[in-house]
């Protein structure tokens, strides 16, 4: 009864959603059948997770996080976990460490992905779901607007190109949660066998 979403995270600002999990559609027989993971809301491609070499995370107990650690102080709370076993062998991932941190003193959230691939070149695509309207200001900066306060997303690390997809919602349960549409921001490109990508989420 899971979603394929190992390493998923949510970001809220002043009680309002910024980066989201779309949730689940109205239940049907398909929700609990052999085609469950054909539903887009169940797939890692529609969570705040990477697609690696065209591969999504897969279902089952073998596809899980490793080395999960949490630590917190007055200044910072951080969760780290390794994602490589959540993906099939075809993804070609040797190691993928994700760190998700709330920086209390600076009032921002930071997500750092540090990875090593088994191939010298591979296609990587980071996905981020949001109900806020995105404006691509540069390859390293996206502005999200429509909430109580605008939010800036700042990217660093491997060179990737941003793109935005509008997702029209037709399911009544999702419309009740998000309205008629959400957005999927994607950062994609071909990377070498190792690298890192960071995302800083900061209110303006």
pLDDT score of 135:
97
In this prediction, residue 36 has a pLDDT band, given cuts at 50, 70 and 90, of low
| CB neighbours of residue 101 within 10 Å | 18
| Average pLDDT value for the chain | 92
pLDDT score of 27:
67
- Asked if the model's pLDDT at residue 170 lies above 80, the reply is yes
8-12, 20-24, 95-99, 105-109: segment of lowest average pLDDT? 20-24
Nearest to 86 by CA among 108, 66, 101: 66
pLDDT score of 40:
77
pLDDT score of 31:
63
- CB contact at 8 A, 19 and 10: yes
pLDDT score of 90:
94
- Asked if the model's pLDDT at residue 1 lies above 70, the reply is no
pLDDT score of 96:
97
- CB contact at 8 A, 174 and 17: no
- Asked if the model's pLDDT at residue 68 lies above 70, the reply is yes
* CA–CA gap between residue 41 and residue 173 (Å, rounded): 12
């Amino acid at each position: 009864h899971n979603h394929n979403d190992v390493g998923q995270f949510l970001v809220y600002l002043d009680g309002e959603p910024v980066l989201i999990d779309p949730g689940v559609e109205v239940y049907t027989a398909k929700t609990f059948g052999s085609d469950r993971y054909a539903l887009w809301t169940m797939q890692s491609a529609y969570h705040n997770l990477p697609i690696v070499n065209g591969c999504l995370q897969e279902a089952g107990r073998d596809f899980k996080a490793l080395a999960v650690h949490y630590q917190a102080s007055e200044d910072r709370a951080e969760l780290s976990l390794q994602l490589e076993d959540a993906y099939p062998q075809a993804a070609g991932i040797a190691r993928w460490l994700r760190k998700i941190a709330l920086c209390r003193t600076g009032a921002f959230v930071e997500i750092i992905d540090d990875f090593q691939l088994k191939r010298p070149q591979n296609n990587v695509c980071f996905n981020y779901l949001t109900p806020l309207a995105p404006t691509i200001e540069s390859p390293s900066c996206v502005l999200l607007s429509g909430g109580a306060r605008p939010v800036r997303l700042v990217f660093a690390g491997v060179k990737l190109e941003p793109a935005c997809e509008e997702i029209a919602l037709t399911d009544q349960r999702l419309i009740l949660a998000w309205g008629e549409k959400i957005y999927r921001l994607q950062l994609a490109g071909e990377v070498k066998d190792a690298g890192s990508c960071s995302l800083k989420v900061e209110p303006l």
